[in-house]
Amino acid sequence: MKKIYIFTNYKGTKNYGAILQAYALNNYINSKGHDCKTVDHRSARDVKEFCLYCFRSPLVIIKAIADRALKLIVKNKISVRDEAFRLFREKKIPHTPECDTTSVKQIVSDADVLICGSDQIWRPGLISNQFNDILWLKGFEGVKKVSYAASMGITELDDGQKAYAETALKDYSSISVRERSTKELLQPLCSCNIQVVMDPVFLITAEDWKQLAVKPCRKDKYIFVYFIKPDKQIYDKIERFAKYTGLKIVYVPYMSYKLNIPDLCFNGHKLDAASPQEFLGYIIDAEYVFTDSFHCTAFSIIFHKNFNTWVTNHGTRLISLLRSLGAKDRIRKRSDNINVTSVSEQQWNLIDSKVNKKVQESKDFLESAISGS
């Protein structure tokens, strides 16, 4: 049994995918007999990023007013969702006491292995353009360092970022990333062979996810809609599709926690207060799933749902996933019509075969990274 600590997007996250991938990696490692905890940390960069944003953006006051207006509109329901996330973190993910950049080293001082991942933990700050030292495991000495399915969310590095990554990765014993594009960015900077692995949500079986899920209390058939960046043009297509099929629309609004017209005007049932468990349940029972989210797409694959995934020019991780599984026909661009063709049993068999192979390779990597010398 190894003493393991995971560094990921955990503290204060309000994104369903982020919290469920954090749960998945922690759950899987503990299921293998290890003592694993997720680190409840807040880094200095998070505070700095907020301060820089307030200082540099002339639109802060306007945005603050808009955010305040949103909170007045959906204050109670969003607070219920926030509480559901807090309870999920507290009850479902074994974690350390809350810590900061100063106290975190003492918290993890008994570690055999430190793991960073998954999700976009290696993405530079949007304002400062700096990396988060904690999530790169910088400054931790004399302990095995492993990355699992780390992602960057960018397609190029400047010279300063290359130097940072080269220094940070030099003392990792094992490195894995979620997308091939991330491997192509980082492999020239380190001698360790970088492996592309599956997102942690794939490490848990569909049946185990169903045990966690809370099924919705509704008898009518529906389309589940989940967009991180709502788009009126896409929403209009979904409304027309719903009218044509006679299906209801159920959607999760305000994922940015900001006021936006598409969410306010979308003709569907709003799930303002859905817990992570209910989020899973709504995907499981949906007739169709329409999304721009990586993790909602991943769960659509896990649960064999008919789905469409809209991607932008920055949707490399979604394109990488769907192409690697032979499901590129599910990719939609903003101008595309909805793909109404159901995923056939034959196609699901091919997708499952590829998923199972990649998941086994990912599990083998993790076992070797943790237990190997």
The whole-number pLDDT of residue 16 equals 95
User: Which of 282, 325, 11 has the alpha carbon at shortest distance from 196?
Assistant: 325
Tell me which DSSP letter residue 228 carries: S
Which of 211-225, 254-268, 318-332 is predicted with the least confidence, judged by mean pLDDT? 254-268
Cβ atoms of 333 and 313 closer than 8 Å: no
- Please calculate the CA angle 259-218-327 and round it to the nearest 5 degrees: 70
57, two tokens? 């953006």
**Global pTM value:** 0.91
Q: What is the mean pLDDT of residues 203-208?
A: 97
The whole-number pLDDT of residue 49 equals 44
Angstrom distance (rounded) from CA 141 to CA 145: 9
Res. 279: pLDDT tops 80: yes
Q: What is the mean pLDDT of residues 293-310?
A: 96
Q: What is the pLDDT of residues 266-277, one digit of tens each?
A: 999 999 889 999
87, two tokens? 């309870």
Q: Which of 52-56, 80-84, 350-354 has the highest mean pLDDT?
A: 350-354
Q: What is the mean pLDDT of residues 58-74?
A: 62
Angstrom distance (rounded) from CA 327 to CA 348: 9
Domains contained in the chain, CATH given: 3-57+88-204+358-371 (3.40.50), 207-342 (3.40.50.2000)
**What three-state secondary structure class fits 334?**
coil
The whole-number pLDDT of residue 11 equals 76
Angstrom distance (rounded) from CA 137 to CA 282: 36
The whole-number pLDDT of residue 259 equals 64
Average pLDDT, rounded, for the chain? 89
Res. 241: pLDDT tops 70: yes
Q: What is the mean pLDDT of residues 286-311?
A: 96
pLDDT over 70 percentage in the chain: 87
The whole-number pLDDT of residue 258 equals 66
Q: What is the pLDDT of residues 153-176, one digit of tens each?
A: 888 899 999 999 999 999 999 999
Q: In what order do the strands lie in the sheet with 269-270?
A: 269-270, 248-252, 222-226, 288-291, 306-310, 331-332
Q: Which residues pair with 249 in a beta bridge?
A: 223
User: Which of 162, 115, 110, 154 has the alpha carbon at shortest distance from 134?
Assistant: 115
The whole-number pLDDT of residue 262 equals 87
**What three-state secondary structure class fits 149?**
strand
Amino acid found at 319: I
Res. 314: pLDDT tops 70: no
Q: What is the pLDDT of residues 27-65, one digit of tens each?
A: 999 999 999 999 999 755 454 444 544 555 556 566 666
The whole-number pLDDT of residue 263 equals 84
Q: What is the mean pLDDT of residues 198-207?
A: 97
Q: What is the mean pLDDT of residues 366-370?
A: 97
